[in-house]
Amino acid sequence: MTTVANSVANSPYTDQQISAWLRGLLTIAWADGHFDPEEQELIAQLTQDELAPATELGSLEPISPQDLAAILGGDRDTAENFIRTAVMMALANGVYSLEEAKVINQFLDALGLEVKALKSLEQTLYDPDKHKLETNALNPPQDPSVDVLAPVRDWLEGMDMKDPRVARFVCKMVPPQCPFERDIKLFGHKIVHIPPMCKLNPLYDQLVGLRFRALTYLADDCEEDVSKYC
């Protein structure tokens, strides 16, 4: 099997680009003012084991749109693939929040990108002051015969898999199975019910499809053992 070191050596992205990429994802994770333990553990694993093993988590800081564009803005495909992973980060909990959308739009402007598909996603924006998580999700009121999110589905599926570190991010970010529904309790009393992710997030199938393509890329092109992701 090809080692991680060899696969990184064949990566089209530099360490500087991957570091900026990771800082951009951190900026999305912190957009709502919270950095949950689960998010912190995931970012730590990705930082130390996958994306930038020489970078300590404590040294990473959010990145400004201008600094991100200076490093990732030289190639449109690279910039757009970063935005796809940023949207994946934002959609991981099944909602697209106002603060996350604001940061992503700032990144888009700095990168000189216009992704019309994301305009449809903004119809689902989650405002914690107006909606409850379990009732809003990514399901805007609409005519059942019209798939408002179709442009986003097509755009997410257009992501190229050509860097093993980014492919590993996709494999770790998207769970191998639909997370079970669960109740969040406080002092023995249910305070919120979280439906299964596959019901909460209508883009779940697209995320799973990206995960499968990432696994295939790692196994076939990079000759890596992907059993740890299954």
| Chain segment 95-142, per-residue pLDDT in tens | 788 888 999 999 999 999 999 889 888 877 766 666 554 444 555 555
Q: Which two tokens stand for residue 147?
A: 């798939």
Q: What is the pTM of this model?
A: 0.75
- What confidence category does residue 59 fall into, taking pLDDT thresholds of 50, 70 and 90? low
**From CA 171, how far away is CA 109, in angstroms rounded?**
28
- What confidence category does residue 25 fall into, taking pLDDT thresholds of 50, 70 and 90? confident
Q: pLDDT tens for residues 208-222?
A: 888 999 999 999 999
User: Residue for token digits 């992907």?
Assistant: 226
Positive/negative CA dihedral, 7, 10, 13, 17: positive
Element (H, E) at 172: helix 164-173
Domain that includes residue 42, residue range: 4-229
Higher pLDDT, 60 or 31: 31
Most confident of 65-79, 140-154, 189-203: 65-79
**From CA 1, how far away is CA 9, in angstroms rounded?**
15
Mean pLDDT (whole number) for 4-32: 75
**From CA 31, how far away is CA 170, in angstroms rounded?**
20
Q: pLDDT tens for residues 154-191?
A: 999 888 888 888 888 788 777 777 765 555 455 555 54
pLDDT at site 160: 84
Higher pLDDT, 139 or 3: 139
pLDDT at site 80: 94
Out of 21-25, 65-69, 131-135, which region has the weakest mean confidence (pLDDT)? 131-135
pLDDT at site 111: 97
**From CA 12, how far away is CA 78, in angstroms rounded?**
9
pLDDT at site 34: 61
How many structural domains compose the chain?
1
pLDDT at site 37: 59
**From CA 94, how far away is CA 100, in angstroms rounded?**
12
